[in-house]
Amino acid sequence: MSDEEEIAFREMFPLVIGALIGITVLLIVVAMLIDSRTSANGVYIPAGETRTSVLMERLAPIGQVQYGEPEEVAVVEEDDAPVDPRSGQEVYDQVCAACHDTGAAGSPLLDAADEWEARLEERGFDGIVQSVIDGMGAMPPRGGDQDATDEELEASVEYILEEAGVSW
């Protein structure tokens, strides 16, 4: 390093250090202003509430211990009436459309007849239905709807193939 460079460095170094210290102080002040809504122990206190009320709400019990004889509890029985299965279009709209309308994660689009025909030739109709039930690639089992019945999923595959114009 030449003498001129050394002199320039010695002149600039205190300025750079001063600027860095100034930026640090500014960031500390901004952080303190942003944090002004919390108390010293980090509890956020919404406007109009006291520190005590916020802490009491956070420390409230989530249950109770009961001694003695148990109270009688009403039991609600589920309705045993069979639920009508959803149509293939309903299942598609509720479960499948998110990926097959956009092509997310490489899923074939609803109207991509050539892709559906290739899958149909490769696995057959029952194989495609089984892929939906078991999950395949990025598609979770049952397309992510664990309540969907096998019949509903089969109806959704039929709907997709019909919409794509593919016969099987």
Which sequence spans correspond to the domains of the chain? 3-58, 88-164
Alpha-carbon span 87 to 95, nearest angstrom: 12
Alpha-carbon span 131 to 94, nearest angstrom: 18
114-123 average pLDDT score: 88
Q: 17 or 98: whose pLDDT is higher?
A: 17
Q: Which of 75-84, 132-141, 153-162 has the least mean pLDDT?
A: 75-84
| Domain 88-164 coded CATH 1.10.760.10 | yes
13-23 average pLDDT score: 96
Q: 83 or 67: whose pLDDT is higher?
A: 67
60, pLDDT greater than 90? no
Cα 114–104–91 angle (5° rounding)? 80
pLDDT given for residue 80 in this prediction: 60
Please answer whether residues 128 and 137 qualify as being in contact, where contact means their C-beta atoms are separated by less than 8 angstroms: no
pLDDT given for residue 108 in this prediction: 87
